[in-house]
C-alpha cells in the first residue's frame, strides 16, 4: 500500500476524542428536542447544482473548496456536501414538506471542504445543524439563537462565548448597500488586495469579510449597512434584538459580520471564542428567506445555524469518562466456564463488565487495573465449590465473599444503573 496516513485534512477520531464528539452531538440533540426540533439525515453527496446555484458562484466554498465528481450513468456531477442547509432545502422541496411547515429539523454529520488544513480547520469535519423552515417572524430568529445559546451552555461554554449579531437586510436594502460599497471601494482600488478587487463586482459584501490586513484598513472606512437598511429591515432587526433582550441574551453588534454564503438575508450571527486562536467561530447561522425559492421550491422563509463539532469538542467542559467496568477474573478451566456465564448474566442486567481473555489470575488482575475496573469478581476453585465469588474493591483492596445469587445486588454498590 502506498500510504498508510489518512488523507491530508482528515483524521481518525479515536475513543476519548469520539466520546467528546458524541457529548457535543448529544447535547445538541437533547436541547434541540426541548425546542421541538426532530432529527433528520440527508445524503452526504448531492448533485453539484444544489450547492453551486445556492451558495453563490463566487463564494470561496464554490470556487475553491468543493469535492466534485462526475457520475457516469447520469452524465452529471455530484459534490460531497460542504455545508448542510442547501441539502436540507433540497430535501424540503423533494419531500413536499411545505405541507408541514413549520419544519424544525436537527441533524449532524460530516462536511467536506478543500481548504488549507490547520488547527480547527479540516477537510472532513463535522457539524451539528438546526433549521427552522417556514417561519417569517423575528420570534423564529430569537428562538434559533436561544437554542444555540442553551446548547453552548449545556457543554460548559456559557461563560466563554460571545454572540455577534448583524443584519444583512432584505434584497432592496442589500442592493442599496451594495451600490454604496462598490462606489466606496472603487475609490480605494489601489489599496485593495487582488482577491478583493476580484470580489468588487461579483460580490462586494464579501470584501468586508476579507482576512487581508491591508483590506482591513480600507474596510474600516467603508459605509455601514445600518445607513442603507429600509424601514422593513430596520424594524425586523429591531424586533429580533428586542426578543433577545427580553430573554436576557447578551450580544455584540458587528456590522462587518457577513456570512460566506450568498443565501443569507436579515439576521446573521456567530458565536465566537478566543480560546481557539484564529479559528474562533464555533457556531454560525442566519436567515435565508430566498433560498428555497431560488432552488425552484415555493417561496418559504428559513433560518438556521451550524456548529463545528471538532472545535467544540476541543473546548468541551465535561467529563466524558465511561463508567468504570467490573472485571470478572476466573482462576482455572472450570471457573472460566462459570465466569463466562456470570459475565454474560451481569451484562444482561446492565452492568459494564470486562472479562479477561487469557492468562493467570495475576495477569488478569493487572488487566483489570489497566481498564480501571472498580471491582474484581474473582472466581477460583473455592468459590466455585461454594457457588460464590470473591469481590475485591480495587480502590481499597477490601474483599468479601458473596454468593452468586446475591452478586448483582452487591455490585449495585459499584455501578449505578
Ligand atoms: P470559518 O470562518 O472558520 O471558515 P465558515 O464561515 O466557513 O467558518 P460555516 O460555513 O459557517 O463556517 O460553518 C459553521 C461552522 O462549522 C463554523 O463556525 C466552524 O465551527 C465549522 N467549520 C467550518 N469550516 C470548518 C473546517 N474546515 N474545519 C472544521 N470546522 C469547520
Ligand atoms: Mg470557511
**Pocket lined around ligand 1, Cβ cut-off 6 Å:** 83, 113, 115, 120-122, 125, 127, 260, 279, 281-284, 306-308, 310-311
Neighbours of 223 (CB within 10 A): 16
How far apart CA 236 and CA 349 sit, in angstroms, is 56
pLDDT of the chain along its 417 residues, tens only? 768 899 999 999 999 999 999 999 999 999 999 999 999 999 999 999 999 888 777 677 787 899 999 987 767 899 999 999 999 999 999 999 999 999 999 999 999 999 999 988 999 999 999 999 999 999 999 999 999 999 999 999 998 899 999 999 998 998 899 899 999 999 998 889 888 888 888 888 888 888 788 888 899 999 999 999 999 999 999 999 999 999 999 999 998 898 766 678 999 999 999 887 777 899 999 999 989 999 999 999 999 999 999 999 999 988 899 999 999 999 989 899 999 999 999 999 999 999 988 888 899 999 999 999 999 999 999 999 999 999 999 999 999 999 999 999 999 999 865
Domains of the chain and any CATH numbers:
2-170+230-315 (3.30.930.10), 326-415 (3.40.50.800)
Ranges of beta strands (E only) in 185-296 are 252-253, 265-272, 281-287
Q: Whose CA is nearest to atom 12 of ligand 1?
A: 284
Distance 308 CA to ligand 1 centre (A): 6
Q: Relative to the alpha carbon of 161, which ligand is closest?
A: 1
Distance 82 CA to ligand 2 centre (A): 10
Closest CA to 314 of 126, 56, 168: 126
Closest CA to 265 of 239, 229, 298: 229
Amino acid at each position: 500500500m502506498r500510504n498508510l496516513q489518512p488523507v491530508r485534512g482528515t483524521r481518525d477520531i479515536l475513543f476519548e476524542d469520539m466520546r467528546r464528539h458524541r457529548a457535543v452531538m448529544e447535547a445538541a440533540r437533547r436541547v434541540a428536542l426541548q425546542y421541538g426540533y426532530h432529527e433528520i439525515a440527508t445524503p452526504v453527496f448531492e448533485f453539484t447544482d444544489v450547492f453551486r446555484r445556492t451558495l453563490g458562484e463566487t463564494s470561496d466554498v464554490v470556487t475553491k473548496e468543493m469535492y466534485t465528481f462526475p457520475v457516469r450513468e447520469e452524465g452529471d456531477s455530484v459534490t460531497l456536501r460542504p455545508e448542510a442547509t442547501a441539502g436540507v432545502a433540497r430535501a424540503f422541496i423533494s419531500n413536499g414538506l411545505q405541507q408541514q411547515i413549520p419544519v424544525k429539523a436537527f441533524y449532524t454529520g460530516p462536511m467536506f471542504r478543500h481548504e488549507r488544513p490547520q488547527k480547527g480547520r479540516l477537510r472532513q469535519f463535522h457539524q451539528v445543524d438546526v433549521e427552522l423552515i417556514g417561519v417569517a417572524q423575528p420570534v423564529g430568529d430569537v428562538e434559533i439563537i436561544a437554542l444555540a445559546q442553551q446548547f453552548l451552555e449545556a457543554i460548559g461554554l456559557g461563560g466563554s462565548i460571545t454572540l455577534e449579531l448583524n443584519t444583512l437586510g432584505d434584497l432592496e436594502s442589500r442592493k442599496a448597500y451594495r451600490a454604496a460599497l462598490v462606489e466606496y471601494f472603487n475609490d480605494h482600488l489601489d489599496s485593495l488586495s487582488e482577491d478583493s478587487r476580484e470580489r468588487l463586482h461579483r460580490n462586494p459584501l464579501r470584501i468586508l469579510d476579507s482576512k487581508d490586513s491591508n483590506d482591513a484598513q480600507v474596510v474600516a472606512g467603508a459605509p455601514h449597512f445600518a445607513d442603507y437598511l429600509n424601514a422593513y429591515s430596520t424594524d425586523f432587526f429591531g424586533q429580533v434584538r428586542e426578543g433577545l433582550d427580553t430573554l436576557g441574551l447578551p450580544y455584540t453588534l458587528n456590522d462587518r459580520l457577513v456570512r460566506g454564503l450568498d443565501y443569507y438575508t436579515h439576521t446573521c450571527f456567530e458565536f465566537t471564542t478566543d480560546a481557539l486562536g484564529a479559528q474562533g467561530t464555533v457556531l454560525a447561522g442566519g436567515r435565508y428567506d430566498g433560498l428555497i425559492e431560488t432552488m425552484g421550491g415555493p417561496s418559504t422563509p428559513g433560518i438556521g445555524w451550524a456548529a463545528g463539532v471538532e472545535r467544540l469538542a476541543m473546548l468541551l467542559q465535561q467529563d466524558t469518562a465511561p463508567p468504570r467496568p467490573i472485571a470478572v477474573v476466573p482462576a482455572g478451566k472450570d471457573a472460566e466456564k462459570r465466569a463466562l456465564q456470570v459475565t454474560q448474566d451481569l451484562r444482561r442486567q446492565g452492568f459494564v463488565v470486562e472479562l479477561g481473555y487469557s492468562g493467570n489470575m495475576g495477569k488478569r488482575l493487572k488487566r483489570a487495573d489497566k481498564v480501571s475496573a472498580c471491582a474484581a469478581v474473582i472466581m477460583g476453585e473455592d468459590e466455585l465449590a461454594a457457588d460464590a465469588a470473591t469481590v475485591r474493591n480495587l480502590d481499597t483492596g477490601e474483599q468479601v465473599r458473596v454468593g452468586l445469587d446475591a452478586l448483582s445486588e452487591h455490585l449495585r454498590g459499584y455501578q449505578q444503573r
